C-alpha cells in the first residue's frame, strides 16, 4: 500500500497489518530494479509540483539511491 501521510500509514500497518511504503522508498526500489535511471529528477519534479518532502527524508532517499 502506498501512503505518505504518517497517521494513515500507522493505521494501515497497526490495524490492518498492511506493508506500507512511502513514495521515496518506492523510487529507491524502482532504481534498484532498474525501472528508473535516477531518483533525483523524480523527487525534484514532485517538489516543483507542490509535493512536500522534508529535507532529511530527501537526503536519506538520495543516499539510499546512491545519488
The answer, yes or no, to whether residue 13 has pLDDT greater than 80, is: yes
Task: Output helix, strand, coil percentages for the chain, rounded to the nearest 5.
Answer: 55, 5, 40
pLDDT, mean of residues 4-32: 87
Q: Where are the domains of the chain?
A: 6-64
What does the pLDDT read at residue 2?
65
Tens digits of residue pLDDT in 24-67: 999 999 999 999 999 999 999 999 999 889 999 999 999 999 99
In sequence order, what are the residues at sequence separation of 6 or more whose Cβ sits closer than 8 angstroms to the Cβ of residue 62? 39, 40, 43
What does the pLDDT read at residue 18?
85
What does the pLDDT read at residue 9?
80
The answer, yes or no, to whether residue 14 has pLDDT greater than 70, is: yes
Amino acid at each position: 500500500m502506498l501512503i505518505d501521510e504518517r497517521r494513515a500509514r500507522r493505521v494501515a500497518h497497526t490495524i490492518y497489518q498492511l506493508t506500507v511504503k512511502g513514495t521515496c522508498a518506492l523510487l529507491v526500489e524502482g532504481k534498484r530494479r532498474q525501472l528508473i535511471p535516477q531518483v533525483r529528477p523524480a523527487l525534484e519534479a514532485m517538489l516543483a509540483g507542490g509535493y512536500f518532502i522534508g529535507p532529511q527524508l530527501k537526503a536519506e532517499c538520495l543516499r539510499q539511491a546512491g545519488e
